[in-house]
């Protein structure tokens, strides 16, 4: 984990490989590393699809170790969707495998002059880059099917579908899960388009012959991991709600709270909520021989995922996340789980961000292109992306572009990125995160739902403006730090509520790396990451006026609470005053 693997896709005579020590980036992992490299090495005003942009793929500080939940992979670049810095992270197997191969990050640089499509294969002995145009325009599922016989089913695959090859701004990067399905996506901000602009279809990571990474202090590490796992298991969210019903446990909760955006953010409650809830989905999964409790990578104890089979009992997709169920469900007026699961499958296959797609289809329904609730219509819109038709290119470019193409005013985006599954008019804290995160609208950047709704880490009234700035600020700082460890963000529930679990996380890092960090050091790390990211965005031309929700959130009241977003602009500007 002390080596950067730089691959210059634009080198004369074909891609060139350079391995170098992490050097100035030593001690950084995940988002801390991707954002440091992007902010130091990428000209903020470059074209996101040009040779000057870089795609940085980095496991976290604890990835590849026996520490539970350490399987997140951070992917960073200048975003073709927001025009700012981007870190999008994914679960699956890739982070663990990449870390065990000894790389702190893969950095894809430059851009090929021609139109060849490349495959990169990395194992403990070599890095091989070959042209393989037979992979062109394969979906992620067909791609993995084609590669499995060659590279085996122990490898981890990082790939793009048709959307990434077409360089569409909502294109994701897929990582394979334990079953080798391409279901874990760095979804947001168009990272897949940047991979496509580098001409790279897939990175195959094979860790055969490598070992689990060794802690500096194995004894202390084991002890800390025990406390860590116990803490995760005993918390009601990470030990109860998430394992039982997955993230979709939130459908009933957020709908009840009146913050479940329905029909392109027209209302805050969806009549069909119970038909698509986590409880309904878990029962259906079990009934069809799927799984309602499952992990996305080895070493997970939360097991928030599942296996969603079709009516005949054949695998269709992994258990769709809450945000996907919302995006393709309530936001499109669709109350049918099989349709939502099919849309999830298509998103994964084509390589698209499910949140952006749900928001985009919602905008197109609002424009009257198809009706709210039109299940076949929604599926067809994703198939248009697969085909690369002009309509598909609009869809695959996200909600902001769809709104422009069809003259819609009510377009739920911040910094051009679609808002996820929580309406800021009913849950003010998350609105602060949406508005101010350097990533664009992103619930994971500072998940205020925890404290506004789930009463984790205290309680801040979701319907009032008081306390939301501090809440979002603290969460954004903590999240930036967590995103650097390789830890799944869901650990935050236990970490926020249980001081000993937070301490166990710090102990894991210290024992592994031979450090003596304190809680303050973690906070300082989070702040420094956010500062890097904000500085990049500023140099890219971002201003405080971009740290705002679209006008309609402060103008049009949302039923059932009949409130608008209550936090004032001048308060939004205080989030990063610390």
- The answer to whether 205 touches 64, Cβ cutoff 8 Å, is no
Among residues 260, 487, 264, 478, the alpha carbon closest in space to that of 365 is found at 264
Q: Does 45 bind its own copies (CB under 8 A)?
A: yes
In contact, 452 and 429? CB cutoff 8 Å:
yes
22 three-class SS: coil
Site string for its own copies, 380-409 (x = CB under 8 A): ---------xxx-xx--x---x--xxxxxx
With respect to its own copies, which residue has the nearer C-beta, 192 or 278? 192
In eight-state DSSP terms, residue 189 is G
Q: Which segments within 22-115 are labelled E, that is strand?
A: 55-59, 73-78, 85-90, 103-109
Name the β-bridge partners of 59. Answer: 73
Q: Please say which residue, 4 or 168, places its beta carbon nearer to its own copies.
A: 168
Cα(39)–Cα(358) distance, rounded to whole angstroms? 30
Asked if 557 and 425 touch (Cβ cutoff 8 Å), the reply is yes
Q: Please tell me whether residue 548 binds its own copies under the rule CB under 8 A.
A: yes
State which residue, 80 or 182, has the beta carbon closest to its own copies: 80
Answer yes or no whether residue 315 interacts with its own copies by CB under 8 A.
no
Smallest distance from the beta carbon of 164 to its own copies, in angstroms? Answer: 10
Which of 46, 178, 284, 291 contacts its own copies by CB under 8 A? 46
Give least dist CB 90 to its own copies, A. Answer: 22
| Nearer residue to its own copies within complex by CB, 49 or 463 | 49
Maximum alpha-carbon separation in the chain: 62
Of the candidates 181, 214, 219, 211, the residue with the CA atom closest to the CA atom of residue 90? 181
Find out whether the peptide bond into 110 is cis, omega within 30 degrees of 0. no
Cβ atoms of 70 and 64 within 8 Å: the answer is yes
- Structure letter (DSSP) for residue 260: -
Q: Which residue stretch of 9-17, 97-105, 354-362, 538-546 sits at the interface with its own copies (rule: CB under 8 A)? A: 538-546
Q: β-strand 200-205 against 118-122: which pairing, if any?
A: parallel
- Going residue by residue from 185 to 204, which x/- string records binding to its own copies, judged by CB under 8 A? --------x--xx-------
Residue choice 60, 64, 76, 80 for contact with its own copies (CB under 8 A): 80
370 binding its own copies? (CB under 8 A): no
Binding mask 492-531 for its own copies (x = CB under 8 A): ----------------------------------------
Neighbours of 82 (CB within 10 A): 29
State which of residues 31, 100, 119, 167 lies at the interface with its own copies (CB under 8 A): 167
Of the candidate residues 2, 40, 50, 515, the single one contacting its own copies (CB under 8 A)? 50
Query: Does the protein bind its own copies through residue 47 (CB under 8 A)?
Result: yes
Strand partners, 6: 18, 107
3-state percent helix, strand, coil for the chain, nearest multiple of 5: 45, 15, 40
Part in contact with its own copies (CB under 8 A); list of ranges 96-104, 233-241, 522-530, 547-555:
547-555
Stretch that binds its own copies, among 123-131, 152-160, 338-346, 550-558 (CB under 8 A): 550-558
Q: Which is nearer to its own copies, 49 or 146 (CB)?
A: 49
Using an 8 Å Cβ cutoff, are 140 and 386 in contact? no
- Select from 17-25, 49-57, 296-304, 493-501 the region that touches its own copies (CB under 8 A): 49-57
| Stretch 114-153: interaction string toward its own copies, x if CB under 8 A | ----------------------------------------
CB of 434 to its own copies, least distance (A): 15
**Residue 321, SS3?**
coil
Q: Which residue has the tokens 């496991």?
A: 59
* Contact present, 132 and 117 (Cβ < 8 Å): yes
Bridge partner residues of 17 (DSSP): 7
How near is the Cβ of 140 to its own copies at its closest, in Å?
Answer: 18
Residue number, 21 or 43, with CB nearest to its own copies:
43
Which residues here bind its own copies, judged by CB under 8 A? 43-47, 49-50, 52, 80, 166-169, 193, 196-197, 389-391, 393-394, 397, 401, 404-409, 539-546, 548, 550-552
């Amino acid at each position: 984990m002390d080596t950067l693997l730089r691959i210059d896709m634009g080198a004369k005579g074909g891609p060139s490989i350079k391995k170098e020590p992490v050097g100035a980036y030593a001690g950084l992992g995940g988002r801390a590393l991707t954002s440091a490299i992007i902010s130091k090495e990428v000209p903020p005003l470059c074209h996101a699809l040009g040779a000057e942009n870089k795609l940085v793929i980095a496991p976290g500080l604890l990835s590849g170790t026996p520490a539970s939940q350490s399987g997140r992979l951070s992917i960073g670049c200048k975003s073709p969707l927001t025009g700012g810095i981007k870190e999008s992270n994914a679960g699956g197997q890739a982070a663990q495998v990449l870390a065990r191969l000894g790389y702190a990050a893969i950095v894809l640089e430059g851009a090929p002059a021609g139109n060849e499509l490349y495959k990169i294969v990395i194992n403990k002995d070599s890095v091989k880059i070959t042209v393989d145009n037979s992979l062109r325009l394969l979906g992620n599922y067909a791609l993995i099917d084609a590669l499995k016989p060659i590279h085996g089913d122990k490898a981890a695959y990082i790939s793009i579908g048709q959307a990434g090859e077409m360089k569409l701004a909502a294109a994701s990067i897929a990582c394979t899960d334990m079953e080798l399905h391409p279901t874990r996506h760095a979804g947001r901000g168009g990272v897949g388009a940047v991979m496509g602009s580098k001409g790279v279809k897939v990175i195959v990571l094979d860790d055969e012959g490598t070992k689990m990474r060794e802690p500096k202090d194995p004894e202390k590490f084991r002890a800390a991991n025990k406390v860590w796992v116990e803490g995760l298991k005993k918390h009601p969210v990470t030990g109860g709600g998430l394992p039982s019903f997955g993230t979709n446990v939130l459908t009933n909760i957020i709908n009840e709270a009146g913050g479940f955006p329905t029909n392109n953010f027209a209302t805050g409650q969806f009549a069909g909520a119970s038909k698509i809830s986590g409880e309904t989905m878990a029962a259906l999964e079990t009934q069809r021989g799927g799984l309602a409790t499952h992990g996305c990578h080895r070493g997970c104890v939360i097991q928030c995922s599942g296996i969603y089979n079709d009516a005949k009992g054949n695998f269709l997709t992994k258990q769709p996340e809450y945000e996907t169920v919302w995006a393709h469900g309530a936001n499109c007026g669709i109350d049918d789980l099989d349709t939502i699961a099919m849309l999830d499958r298509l998103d994964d296959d084509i390589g698209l961000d499910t949140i952006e797609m749900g928001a985009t289809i919602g905008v197109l329904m609002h424009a009257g292109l198809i009706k709210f609730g039109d299940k076949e219509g929604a599926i067809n819109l994703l198939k248009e992306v697969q085909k690369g038709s002009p309509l598909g290119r609009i869809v695959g470019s996200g909600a902001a572009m769809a709104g422009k193409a069809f003259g819609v005013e009510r377009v739920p985006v911040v910094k051009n990125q679609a808002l996820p599954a929580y309406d800021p008019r009913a849950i003010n804290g998350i609105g602060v995160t949406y508005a101010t995160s350097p990533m664009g609208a992103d619930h994971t950047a500072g998940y205020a739902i925890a404290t506004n709704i789930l009463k984790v880490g205290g309680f801040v009234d979701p319907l009032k403006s008081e306390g939301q700035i501090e809440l979002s600020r603290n969460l954004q700082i903590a999240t930036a730090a967590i995103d650097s460890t390789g830890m799944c963000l869901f650990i935050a529930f236990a970490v926020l509520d249980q001081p000993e679990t937070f301490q166990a996380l710090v102990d894991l890092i210290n024992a592994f790396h031979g450090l003596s960090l304190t809680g303050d050091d973690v906070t300082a790390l989070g702040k420094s990451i956010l500062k890097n990211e904000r500085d990049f965005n500023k140099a890219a031309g971002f201003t405080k006026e971009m740290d705002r929700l679209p006008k309609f959130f402060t103008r049009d009241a949302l039923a059932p609470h009949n409130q608008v977003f209550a936090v004032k602009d001048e308060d939004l500007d205080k989030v990063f005053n610390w």
